[in-house]
Amino acid sequence: MPAIFGYVSRDAQLLFADHVGRFYARQYGFPPMAGRLLGFLFVCDPPQQTIDELAEALLASRSAITGAVKLLESYRMARRTRPAGERVDRVSLDPASQQPQNFDSAVHQEHAVLFREGLALLADAPPERRAPLEEMVALAEFLSERLPALLEEWHAHRDELRASGRLPSADG
């Protein structure tokens, strides 16, 4: 992105936001506006924006932005705050969004239980009919077992990067 004296052009910000929007729509089924908003929140200055500012910057309606904010809040990717003395909320990235997502082994344990329920329905079915659910049970159990260790490994790696100065610390 072209930057002049630390300033990133609005066009470059919007292009990045569009790229993020397309990626999140394709990979996760997000509405494009939610992905665009997420991308914009990563690069906008200041990092806290009002709904009106976001609507103007992203060339969208207030209702589209509000809906996108609600969706991102539900995924803990964005948050609203209201500074003392102000009458409007400010939207920014949720600090939790920088933490690894989907590493909760309980979610994968629940998947395994659900897939086993499906297997029970197919108890008398031929093996080829049961195979997709059996594989999903195996995958869910594998992820449930492996993700806690992988998360610990990430935290150790992140801490090494912070200690070496290659990654800023969480507090600034």
As beta bridge partners, residue 4 has: 7
CB 45 within 8 A of CB 71: no
Could you tell me if residue 7 is inside a domain?
yes
Q: Which two tokens stand for residue 170?
A: 């969480």
d(CA 63, CA 120): 45
Q: pLDDT-derived band of residue 172, with 50, 70 and 90 as boundaries?
A: low
Q: What total of structural domains would you count in the chain?
A: 2
Q: How many residues does the chain have?
A: 172
DSSP summary character for residue 49:
B
d(CA 117, CA 126): 16
Between 98 and 22, the more confident residue is 22
CB 116 within 8 A of CB 137: yes
| pLDDT at 2 > cutoff 60 | no
Both 156 and 92 in a single domain? no
Of 70, 97, 124, the residue that ends a domain is 97
* Helix H or strand E encompassing 154: helix 127-164
Both 70 and 116 in a single domain? no
Could you tell me if residue 169 is inside a domain?
no
Both 22 and 89 in a single domain? yes
Round the average pLDDT of the chain to a whole number and report it: 90
Both 15 and 89 in a single domain? yes
Both 71 and 145 in a single domain? no
Q: pLDDT, tens digit, for every residue of 113-129?
A: 999 999 999 999 999 99
pTM for the model stands at 0.76
d(CA 41, CA 70): 14
